[in-house]
Amino acid sequence: MPIENEQARLLTCIGEPTRLQILKLLSQGEKYVGEIVEVLGIGQSLVSYHLRHLRECNIVIVRQEAQRTYYRLSDARLAELVLTSEAIVKEIFLCRLNEDADKKRSKQITGAEVSDKILSR
């Protein structure tokens, strides 16, 4: 299978907002499910659903200790991927905002231009 197919599978697996939040949290280190639920403020069943998908893609590793189930990233580069993609998106978004602001400014006319248009009628 070509590497691009594998890359697409990886990006598809992590390319969901809740999963990205979980990965961002796990980039800080191993967490148990209760911590993830508390920080994200969503139900345990939803967190478990997303963790299962991440585990099936070999993105997270699970460890059971007594009554708690702990998760961590399977590879530290996954943290870099998530954090770098966040930075890229923020920069692109900011560029779009600046672009939109520039377009609006270019469409606005000054008070002097308004006066000139009124007087030219």
CA–CA separation, 45 vs 52, rounded Å? 10
CA–CA separation, 77 vs 75, rounded Å? 5
- Residue 90 confidence (pLDDT): 85
Q: How confident is the model at residue 118 (pLDDT cuts 50, 70, 90)?
A: very low
Beta-bridge partner residues of 61: 72
From the list 36, 30, 73, 39, the residue with the least C-alpha distance to 54 is 73
Domain extents for the chain?
3-75, 78-119
DSSP per-residue codes, the chain: --HHHHHHHHHHHH-SHHHHHHHHHHTTS-EEHHHHHHHHTS-HHHHHHHHHHHHHTTSEEEEEETTEEEEEESSHHHHHHHHHHHHHHHHHHHHHHHHHHHHHHHH---HHHHHHHHHT-
pLDDT digits (tens, 9 = 90+) for 65-100: 999 999 999 999 999 999 999 998 888 866 666 666
pLDDT digits (tens, 9 = 90+) for 21-73: 999 999 999 999 999 999 999 999 999 999 999 999 999 999 999 999 999 99
> According to CATH, what is the number of the domain 3-75?
1.10.10.10
Mode of pairing for the β-strands spanning 31-32 and 68-73: antiparallel
Is the confidence at residue 107, as pLDDT, over 90?
Answer: no
